[in-house]
Amino acid sequence: MKKKVILESNKETVTDKELTDVANLVATIQETQKSLELKEEAVKSTKDFLRKLTEEDLPNKLTEIGLSSIETKNGDKVAVKPFYRGHISKEKQVAAFKWLRDNKHGDLIKNEVKASFGKGEDALAIQTKEFLNNKGHSFTDREAVHPQSLSAFIREQTEKGKALPHDLLGVHIGQIAKIKRGE
């Protein structure tokens, strides 16, 4: 069964060669998109494998043999260090931000109301939004905690022995092997 070709053109006639050229370009675009998707998946897979090697396999092997650092024969220096990460999901954002504010860490929250409010300006952002609401102005606002700020906060609080709501802040603490190339 032959597919129907629908033409929308300012030209009165479109040649078979022109249609073939268009079909070839469409096929090339589709092949390129598929190739890009495969390469992006390969990069993701490689990053996952590298993360497993540096955050699980090598730290576990060094722990197993009782070492926290080593210098290899070729001069590479390997050291296992702790890492701290967090991620506040959209589903837990309201509760996480409430916890941060209630526990006097609201300065981690960055607020945007057509202008950016940085760390430590949480109260000013809330006042500005209330002011705009009371004046009947419509506005868009966005609140976020920068991932690096959250990770630094988690490290600081953990090292001080402070309890954190791991589920709300998406806390992940582990070991990572850092490698410095030898000469």
pTM of the model: 0.61
Give the domain ranges of the chain: 14-67, 68-107+145-183, 110-143
**Amino acid present at 165:** P
Angle among Cα 125, 130, 134 to the nearest 5 degrees reads 150
Closest-CA residue to 151 (of 82, 98, 90): 82
Quote the pLDDT of residue 4.
58
- Is residue 62 a contact partner of residue 68, using CB atoms and an 8 Å limit? yes
In the chain, DSSP finds a helix count (H) and a strand count (E) of: 6, 6
Helices (H), the chain: 16-52, 58-64, 93-102, 122-134, 147-159, 166-169
Q: What are phi and psi of 77, to 5 degrees?
A: -105, 125
Four-CA torsion 97, 100, 104, 109, nearest 10 degrees: -60
Question: 129-181 pLDDT, tens per residue?
Answer: 888 888 887 777 788 899 999 999 999 999 999 999 999 999 999 999 999 99
Q: Helix, strand, or coil here: 117?
A: strand
Give the integer Cα–Cα distance in Å for 129 and 164: 29
pLDDT tens digits for range 104-132: 999 999 877 665 778 888 888 888 888 88
